[in-house]
Each structure stands twice: as C-alpha cells, then as structure tokens.
Amino acid sequence: MSLGADRSYKMKLRDVENAFKYRRIPYPKRSVELIALLAISCTFFLFMHTNKLNSRLKEMEVKLQPSEFSALGLTGNHVSGHDAGKHDDINTLHGTYQYLKSTGQILQLNAQDLNNTPKADIDVVFFNRVPKTGSMQLIELMRQLGKVHDYEVEKDPQVGGVLPLLELPEQSDMIENIVNLEDGTVFASHVNFLNFTKNEQPRPIYINMVRDPVERVISWYYYIRAPWIFVPGRRRTNREMPNPKWVNTEYDQCVLSGEKVCTYIEGSLLEHVGDHRRQTLFFCGHDEFKCTPFNSRLALQLAKLNVEREYAVVGTWEHTNETLAVLEAYVPRYFADATKMYYSGLHADKQNDNPMKPHISQDILDMVRRNFTREIEFYQFCRQRLHKQYLALKLNDLKRADKSLARLEAANEMAIKN
C-alpha cells in the first residue's frame, strides 16, 4: 500500500471513531433548560408546601391556644426563663405532646378520664388559692363570669393573712361551712387542702393555681416589703413600722448574706405564718409531720396524689390560654367563655402586681433553684397534667394534622426519588 493510501485509510478510521465517540441524541438547547427549570420548580414547590404544612401543624397544636408553645419561640408568653429555648422540654406543651406521641401514650389520652369535676357531690367550687400565684386575677375573672352564668364568689376575708395549719376541729368547721353554701357558689381562701371525703362530707369541685416556686418566693419577698402593703397592715394591727434595713434589702443581697428568710434548708419545718416557701403545702394538707418539712419527698408525693385524685384543674398564668381553655372545658358551669371574658380587658388589669420588684440575676436564681428540687418537681407535675388535659381536648385536631403532614412528606420523598 502506498504512503498516500495508508494516510487516507487512517484518516477515515479516525473519522469513524470520532463519529461514535461524540454521538448524542440531538435536543434543542431550550428544551434542556426547560426540563432543568421544571425539576427545580417541583422540588422547590414540594419543599415550600412541606414547610408550610409543618408550620400549620405547630400552629394547630397551639391554635389550639397561642401562647403555650412560647418555649419554642413561636408566640406569646414565655413559660419561665430557664425553659426558654428548650424545644424538647417535657414541661412545655409541645414537649409533652412529642413525648406522649413518641411513647404511644398520646392515643390513650381521654378528656373524660382526666376530668375530676364529675366526682363532685355538690355544685360548689373550692378555690384554696396559693399566695402569689395570681389568684386575685382568677377571682376577678370568676366574679365577671358569675354575672353571666349566675353564680356568686365568696372570698374569705382572712384579716390575719394566710390560714396556718388547722387542727382537726377547725378543719371540720370550715368544711361544714363550705358544704352549707348555696349551689352555684365559689369559695376562695388561702388555706391548705381540705379532705371532705375523710370528714364524711360531700366533695366540692377543687381548683387552684400554681407558679414557678422560685419566682413565687421572690414575689412574696418584695410583696410584703411594698409600702402599700406593710403600711396599712401595721396601722390596722397597731404595730411598729418595719426596720428600714429590712425593707430595703434586695433579694440577691439577702441570699448572698445567708439571712434566714432567704436560706432554704431541706427538711426545715414551718416557722411562722409568713413562711411561704412551700407551694406543695397547699395541696398536701394540714399534717405538720407529713406536709411541712421543706422540699421533702413525702410532702411532694401527697401533694401529687391529691392533685391527681381531687382537683378538676390546677392552672398557671404562665400558660394562660391553656389554663383558660381547660377551665372552660372541664368546669363549664363556671368557666364557659372564660377566654373571651379574660381578653375583653381583664388581662390588662393585674391584681397585686408589684412594679418595684427588680430583675434577679440568673446566678442567684440558679443558686436558689438547687434547694427547690422537689418544689420544682411538683410545679412541673402540675404543668404536665395541665398539658395532658389540654392535649386530650385537641387530640382529633392533632391527629388530622399529623396525617396531612405524613401524606405530604411521603409525596415529597417519592418525588425526590423519581
């Protein structure tokens, strides 16, 4: 073969190889761009709708009532400073819901099983109000509701302040007085839990309010030092005015200096009428040995037991909307339309609010909380019970939202795979 023929053969062979190497299906350039744009658009569409439905689920869990998911930063009131930002905290409504859902307990919730109102034998509400939990706010709400629903609110005058531990005859007398009230009455008093059943008397409808126990003792500390509180009190009782040092000592100074009033020793007994360290005492009862040792396990367990067995609702203004919704549903005779009434103006009228109470540093709060472990546990127990009652009312809405979200997420996964 000549040199020219050999070169011609190699060129032809190279042309054939190139033809196979670069062979492709011809697509117009704009068609390729259109397909890419459609793929991106579909992915973005599914992402946006999944995100939107997820947001709607969370809204429904609250819409439920808005402020209870505040610890998630979604809206409204904060539960308390130490809970803020804890998205999975079981002491928030959302945290309780996620926990019950993950353990399968959410399906077992039943509003009727959590409702103690039907256990009542008489149509009387007994509100043995805990000091510094916003009880006057609830009393004012009930007074306004009473005008609509035709019931009376009787507030124990308690000139001497909070009732101390009552002897058995005193307990019996007070129980008898409450039992003899007319149907359609609310009786409010700063008094420890009274056991009507043990006194062989018909049981009323129990309600109460709680508050973060450390915030509560700080509130009491400044409340009794406010001039508009101690001046009229001293004049009524003819006692001398308090020492200026006592009035002007800030709470953090009191804690750091180790003053007795700001020292919280586990097991210490009730010292005087103004000793307000124990929120559990108002749910435990009048047994000095069982109920008064501070931060004790026995007092905690007895208080929990009484709440679980006896109380229709134990609410907290730290979960305002949730509390009002549960009161409306579980004690409708007295609290129908409570949310509407509250937000018609009562919410802005804070009773016994103390504008002079300063900000307390987190270090001081943490130091005090270490001594309130069981008091805090009781408070959290009451909150979780309130959450369960509330979720039981909204269970059908939550189930529907969960199913909708699950369907959309499944569709999104399918689209991504395809």
190 carries an active-site annotation: yes
Among 190, 276, 286, 359, the one annotated catalytic? 190
Output the CA torsion sign for 195, 158, 345, 73: negative
CB 199 within 8 A of CB 172: yes
Element (H, E) at 31: helix 29-63
- Bridge-based pairing of strands 311-315 and 152-155 is unpaired
Output the CA torsion sign for 112, 115, 119, 120: negative
- Copy the structure tokens of residue 284: 């435990």
Rounded to whole angstroms, what are the CA distances from 311 to 117, 229, 356? 8, 31, 34
Q: Which long-range CB contacts under 8 A does 355-358 form with residues at least 24 apart? A: 356/222, 356/226, 357/218, 357/219, 357/222, 358/250, 358/251
CA distance 341 to 338: 5
Q: What residue type is assigned to position 391 of the chain?
A: L
- Copy the structure tokens of residue 7: 């070169």
CB 393 within 8 A of CB 326: yes
Rounded to whole angstroms, what are the CA distances from 13 to 1, 3, 18? 16, 16, 9
Please state, as a whole number, how many other Cβ atoms lie within 10 Å of the Cβ of residue 20: 7
CB 296 within 8 A of CB 267: yes
CA distance 121 to 89: 37
Residue 154 bridge partners (DSSP): 187
Please state, as a whole number, how many other Cβ atoms lie within 10 Å of the Cβ of residue 138: 28
Q: Could you say which DSSP state residue 78 is in?
A: -
Residues 6 or more apart whose Cβ sits within 8 Å of residue 326: 313, 315, 386, 389, 390, 393
- Copy the structure tokens of residue 38: 């459609």
CA distance 145 to 372: 36
Question: Which residues are part of the catalytic machinery?
Answer: 190
